[in-house]
Amino acid sequence: MNRDERIARGAGKPPQVHHRGATTAVYPGDGAGGTWIAANEHGITLALLNRSDVVPLPCDRNQPRSRGEIIPALASAPSLTGLQAAFGTLNLHGIRPFRFVGVFPSEQTIAEWGWDSAQLTFQTRGWNSLHWFSSSLSDRQAGRLRGAACRDAQQEPDAGSALWLRRLHASHAAGPGPFSLCVHRVDVKTLSYTEVVVTPGQIRMKHFRGRPCAMDADGGTNVDLIEYPRATTPPVGHMCGSDQCELTAKGKRSTHQ
C-alpha cells in the first residue's frame, strides 16, 4: 500500500507489534498514535483510505478526530463477523469520510465499509482482483488513471509477483505527477510503501519509508521488516501491499488497491 500524504506530515514511524486486547497486530504509525494499515495474528489485513468524493458534514472544531484512530480500535477483530460487531459500537462522530477495506483469508472474503461523515455503508466482495484509489484532488480521476496503469501492468509476464507489486507501486504512468501510483506533487507525495504477506503460519510486514520509486526492486534495502506467527492455519494466504493488496487464494492471484 502507498501512503500519499502532505510532505509536512513526514513518513511516520516504522511498524511495531501492538497488543490490542488479547490479539497481536502489527502496523506502522502516523506519528499521532494512528495508522492506515495493519495485519493481525488472525491473518486479517485492514487498510483505510481517505475519501474526497463526498462533501463531509462540518466537524466540531473543538473536538477534531483523526481517521488514523480507526484501525487501532478495530485491529483485534478475529473475523469478519467480529469486525462488523466492533464497527457497530464505534463512535465515528467528527471523523471525516473514509473507505475501510478488510481482507479475510480464512473466509475468502474482502469487505468494504464507507463513511460519509453521517452514514456507514457496508458491502462484501468476492475473492477477486480489485483496486482502491484515493486522491485529495479527485478520487474519480485517480481511479481512472491509476486503474488504467494497473490494467496495463496486469499484462506483464510476472504479474502478481512481489517484484511486480513493488514495481507497480513505484509506477510513474500518467506522470510522474498527482495521479501516478507513486505520487509527485509540490506539497504531497507518496511517503511510504507497506507490504504484507500472510501465509498459513506467518504474518510478514515490510515497510519502506520513502517514495516507492526510490526503493530497491528486491525490497530488501532500508526496509523495516517484522515477522510473527499466525494464530490459526487457514487454507489460503495473501500478500498486501499499501493502498494495494496482492491476494493469493487457491492458486488465483488478485490485486487490491
Distance between CA atoms of 253 and 155, rounded to whole angstroms?
13
SS3 (DSSP) at 166: helix
Mean pLDDT in order along the chain per 10 residues (257 residues) = 93 93 93 94 96 78 79 95 94 93 94 94 87 93 94 93 93 93 95 94 94 82 90 49 37 33
Which pTM does this prediction carry?
A: 0.87
Domain count, the chain: 1
Assign residue 37 the CATH number of its domain.
3.60.60.10
Q: Domain range for residue 200?
A: 2-256
Residue 60 confidence (pLDDT) = 55
Q: What is the pLDDT of residues 198-224, one digit of tens each?
A: 999 999 999 999 999 999 877 667 899
Distance between CA atoms of 185 and 207, rounded to whole angstroms?
22
Distance between CA atoms of 143 and 155, rounded to whole angstroms?
18
